[in-house]
Chain A
């Protein structure tokens, strides 16, 4: 059986004034996979993420999520789609006037009839699942470190058990130990909850550690998609430089050591 496509992008164009970011871009995301999106600065990785998450409609093209056209559907249908997706922004984008627990409770509040005690417990569960200590739930985002804020952002994105999560540079700004713990967290959650993960990243170690498939953005479209092994074979100059540069060699070495 062919793999189930949850996100289907066709002919996406994004233009900022004179600057063309995407032109006729196609991409499929399959159910249950962890997709890493890479590309040089300014190739529109985050723009693509914002397009799919519904924060910025593209100038042209179609976006199908769960088989439903996300651009032409009604407000209600779009909300239903949104409830099945979670987004973790680069710095968490937590509401600064709420504690971490209240932040995680915000999406849970949209569910009718969920009693407050259970809602609180579920928020605590999500906080624990994203690897934060129990006490962090009472803290305000400004009292947390960058890594903890990212985890709290992930906890909020996972609050409603979405089918797809979007991660914008999840490991940027984390120390190597924190970053690899985060990779494992994403991998583990994706397996346990059957999550589809759409991850924009620059971190070669994360690509090695948790991505099933990699999509390379170059020349205004998704130039290549494939596994890490396939990426290593491609001889496009940028892709080659990216996956064979000094940092990439270090990442491969670490991976081989781990195996």
Chain B
């Protein structure tokens, strides 16, 4: 079999070389013929010389008996297309040679080959002969123009000369630059600006809060103005869809608290106090705080992204020109939805946290659910629950206002959208924790 294939190859190659007419008759067939590479190349050159435009013929020829063994598209193309006057490849090469005063540039000087001769051209001086240049593009022309004060270009082909002129006409002229040095004054200036921008941020946040409250006042006076559909939609997005993650997180926190408490309290035989530990820490602090942190991550980012992309596409400007108040349409439903749903999410978190704690206390310490509930009702004051819930609307306002404000800060490009989204999340979480700390101090002083 091998021998047979070899025979076919040799016969095919010979035939092609000796009978160039074959190509005119049946060029498509010719490229299917399998033959050794060097013979194939020779054949192809011959064929390309013979025929420029090959046309397909249905003429039957004895070449039919050749089996298509291997197809090479590149060489197939030599047959079926016009050869480009100076064919392009992706590996072009230009060579510069010569001695002082008489340089000769040949090959293709294009964007792919300029790097090869750029350095050599720096040392060249005198006359530069371009007669051997097959292709020149703007990158090559740019390189030649850059050295045109030292090199006299001669024998350029007309189209190359035209390109050189065109490039010469639009050589970039960088304006003289004064290099700025870094001084102490600039350093102080930078710090001052950062402080000032932090101040501006606080003012803007306050303005945003004021705007929201003013619009809320309008809505309360004229309830018909309330964008109810948007409110329900956002309440669904912000509240309902956050329930699974908030529940899971809170349940696990309850489990962890009970487990850690059990290990410590067992040493004193004070297992029953695990109920107080769980109840107070979850109801007073963790339930609401962790919910707010999760909501800040979920919701502040989505507010910023939604409002920011509208800002980016000038939709907010369009609203203003249509006499629609963006604050009423975009901010009020979002922040109000947060105000309504965050306490509910907090309640869910409290319940799930206590459930997780009770479960763990039962498994680990043998505190039965009945005992847990009885102890919870007897010993834990409602003030703990109230302290927790008082914080929820404040956290909601912080998250909503920061998210909406960051959305309005988005500029014209996609990158600022990303930057504002991440900074909204960071700021919202930070502000929530700071507010929580302030509440703790306040309640401690008031002895609640």
Contact surface of A with B, Cβ cutoff 8 Å: 2, 4, 66-68, 73, 77, 80, 83-84, 96-97, 108, 111, 113-115, 118, 121-122, 124-129, 134-135, 140-143, 158, 160-161, 163, 188-189, 191-194
Contact = CB atoms under 8 A, between A and B. Distances in A.
B163 A193 contact: yes
Contacts of A188: 166
A142 B162 contact: no
What class of interface size applies to chain B in its complex with A? Answer: 35 or more
B40 to A, nearest CB: 19
9 contacts: A67-B80, A83-B90, A113-B116, A118-B115, A118-B118, A122-B111, A129-B170, A158-B138, A189-B166
A135 B175 contact: yes
Interface string B146-181: 100000000000010011001100111111000000
Contacts of A4: 82, 84
A97 B173 CA distance: 25
B49 to A, nearest CB: 15
Contact of B171 (A108, A111, A125, A160): A125
A250 B139 CA distance: 40
Nearest to A144: B412
Nearest to A79: B90
A127 B172 contact: yes
B174 A134 contact: yes
A147 B172 CA distance: 20
Given A121-B142, A193-B137, 15 more contacts: A2-B53, A4-B84, A68-B73, A96-B415, A97-B413, A111-B115, A122-B111, A124-B174, A128-B170, A129-B166, A134-B175, A141-B412, A158-B138, A192-B162, A193-B166
A165 B330 CA distance: 43
B171 A114 contact: no
Contacts of A193: 137-138, 163, 166
Nearest to B88: A84
Interface in B23-66: 53
Contact of A114 (B115, B137, B163, B167): B115
B142 A160 contact: no
Contact of B142 (A68, A122, A194): A122
Of all A-B residue pairs in the complex, the 6 with the closest CB atoms, nearest first, are: A142-B412, A67-B81, A96-B413, A97-B415, A161-B137, A192-B166
Given A126-B138, A161-B110, A113 B73 contact: no
B198 to A, nearest CB: 25
Contacts of A80: 90
Q: Which of A141, A160, A163 is the most central at the interface, judged by chain B CB atoms within 10 Å of its CB?
A: A160
B432 interface: no
Given A118-B118, A194-B159, A125 B82 contact: no
